[in-house]
Structure 1
Amino acid sequence: MPGDSREDAAVREVTERLKSAYAGRRTAQEIEAAVGKAYHHLRDRPVRDFVPVLVERRARRILADLPDPSEMD
């Protein structure tokens, strides 16, 4: 993920926060994919200050839209 080191660190923190929030409900791979997809969507935005917050919000929506693994039996 391109960006400055502060933004990269903030996005990594978002990823770790989501892994904790979705522990047992989503795999690390699903979370990383959601964060990557959310970050990719914002990559060309000129104002970078809010990218981590926007990435987290978008990733949460992506994760919420995934099928619930407990209902897939």
Structure 2
Amino acid sequence: MAMTDLEYARYMLEQYREAEVAALAGKSVTIAGRTFISHDPAAITKGRLEWEQRVYSLTHGRGLRFGRVSFE
């Protein structure tokens, strides 16, 4: 059985949340063929924010705006 768009967005959001935790622990993670390493948290956060926005728009019918996050 195929996932709905919302189910897939929630699944991907969970993958990015787990990747953030792994990055904080110094591990590398692969999501949908992309490998993220622990010293690139901005890329993981960007992906998580994109999936959060997609889940929000699928459940509320409109987009959600986020501010920019900077890791230095």
Pairwise TM-score range, normalised by the shorter structure: 0.3 to 0.5
TM-score when normalising by structure 1: 0.32
TM-score when normalising by structure 2: 0.33
Higher strand share: 2
Higher helix share: 1
- Does 1 or 2 have the higher relative contact order (CA < 8 Å, sep 6+)? 1
